[in-house]
Amino acid sequence: MGKLQEKIYNSLPYPFKFILLNVKAYQNSKQRYTKDFETYLNEYIDLWDSDIDVVERYQESRLKVLLSEVFEHSDWYTSKMKDLGITLHDIEENPYEVLQKMPILTKSERKTNPEALVNKKRPTDGVGYTSGTSGAPTVNYLDKESINRSFALWRRFHKAIGLETRRVKQVRFSGRLIVKPDAKKAPFWVYNYFENQLLMSTYHLTEENLPSYIKKLNKFKPLLLDGYPSAIYIISRFINQNNMDIKFTPKAIAVTAETLYDYQRTEIEKAFGCHVFNQYASSEGSPFITECVNGNLHLNTDSGIFEFINAKGEKAKPGEVAQLVVTSFTNLKTPLIRYNIEDTVLLCDEGKVCDCGCVMPMIEKLTGREDDILWTKEKGYVGRMDTAYKGLEGIVKSQIVQESHDDIIVNLIADQNFDDEMKEKLVHNLKDRLGQNVNYTINIVDDIPLGPNGKFDAVKRNFTISL
Q: For 56-98, what is each residue's pLDDT tens digit?
A: 999 999 999 999 999 999 999 999 999 999 999 999 999 999 9
| Higher-pLDDT residue of 169, 183 | 169
> Does domain 3-297 correspond to CATH entry 3.90.228.20?
no
What pTM does this model have? 0.83
DSSP 2-25: -HHHHHHHHHS-HHHHHHHHHHHH
* pLDDT at res. 121: 94
| Best CA proximity match to 261, nearest among 172, 162, 366, 358 | 366
* pLDDT at res. 135: 40
| Best CA proximity match to 55, nearest among 320, 406, 303 | 303
| Best CA proximity match to 197, nearest among 21, 404, 42 | 21
The confidence band for 6, taking pLDDT boundaries of 50, 70 and 90, is: low
The confidence band for 138, taking pLDDT boundaries of 50, 70 and 90, is: confident
The confidence band for 449, taking pLDDT boundaries of 50, 70 and 90, is: confident
Decide if 3-297 and 373-461 have a common fold: no
* pLDDT at res. 164: 87
What residue segments make up the domains of the chain, in order of their start? 3-297, 373-461
Mean per-residue pLDDT, 177-185: 82
47 in Cβ contact with 58 (< 8 Å): yes
Q: In what order do the strands lie in the sheet with 224-227?
A: 189-192, 197-201, 170-174, 224-227, 252-255, 276-280, 289-291, 297-299, 362-363
Kindly report the average pLDDT of the chain as a whole number: 89
395 in Cβ contact with 423 (< 8 Å): no
Q: 377 by DSSP, 3-state: which?
A: coil
148 in Cβ contact with 100 (< 8 Å): no
Mean per-residue pLDDT, 202-207: 86
| Higher-pLDDT residue of 421, 8 | 421
Return the CATH number of the domain spanning residue range 373-461. Answer: 3.30.300.30
Distances in whole angstroms, Cα of residue 29 to Cα of each of 24, 32, 34: 9, 5, 9
* pLDDT at res. 133: 41
Percent of the chain with pLDDT over 90: 62
Give yes or no for residue 467 having a pLDDT over 50: no
Count how many Cα atoms sit within 13 Å of the Cα of residue 148 in the half-sphere of its side chain: 17
| 352 beta partners | none
Judged by average pLDDT, the poorest of 32-41, 121-130, 283-292, 357-366 is 121-130
| Best CA proximity match to 368, nearest among 380, 382, 379, 378 | 382
Q: In angstroms, rounded to a whole number, what is the distance separating the alpha carbons of residues 30 and 241?
A: 43
Mean per-residue pLDDT, 293-313: 94
β-bridge pairing 189-192 and 197-201:
antiparallel
336 in Cβ contact with 284 (< 8 Å): yes
